[in-house]
């Protein structure tokens, strides 16, 4: 029903679509940040630091 209203230009779904795209991008960025934060200590685990 809502798709037909959208196709007839009686309902504007662009704000909803834009918000969904934004939310997806934000969630993806948060997931990447968490993965990098978790992997960072393990990447430095085998390195030798000299004084």
Residue 37 clears pLDDT 70, i.e. is over it: yes
Indicate the domain borders of the chain.
Answer: 2-42
- Residue 45, helix vs strand vs coil: coil
Give the span between the Cα atoms of 51 and 46, in whole angstroms.
Answer: 16
pLDDT at 22 (0 to 100): 93
Question: Between residues 39 and 8, which one has the greater pLDDT?
Answer: 8
Distance of CA 44 to the CA centre of its chain: 27
Determine the pLDDT at residue 19.
Answer: 94
Q: What is the pTM of this model?
A: 0.53
pLDDT, one tens digit per residue, over 4-31 is 877 788 878 899 999 999 999 999 999 8
Residue 6 CB coordination number (10 Å): 15
Task: Please determine, for residue 48, whether its predicted confidence score (pLDDT) is greater than 60.
Answer: no
CB atoms within 10 A of CB 46: 6
Q: Report the distance separating Cα 46 and Cα 13, nearest Å.
A: 51
């Amino acid at each position: 029903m809502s798709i037909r209203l959208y196709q007839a230009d009686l309902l504007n779904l662009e704000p909803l679509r834009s918000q969904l795209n934004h939310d997806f991008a934000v969630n993806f960025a948060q997931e990447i940040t968490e993965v990098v934060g978790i992997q960072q200590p393990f990447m430095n685990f085998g390195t030798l630091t000299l004084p």
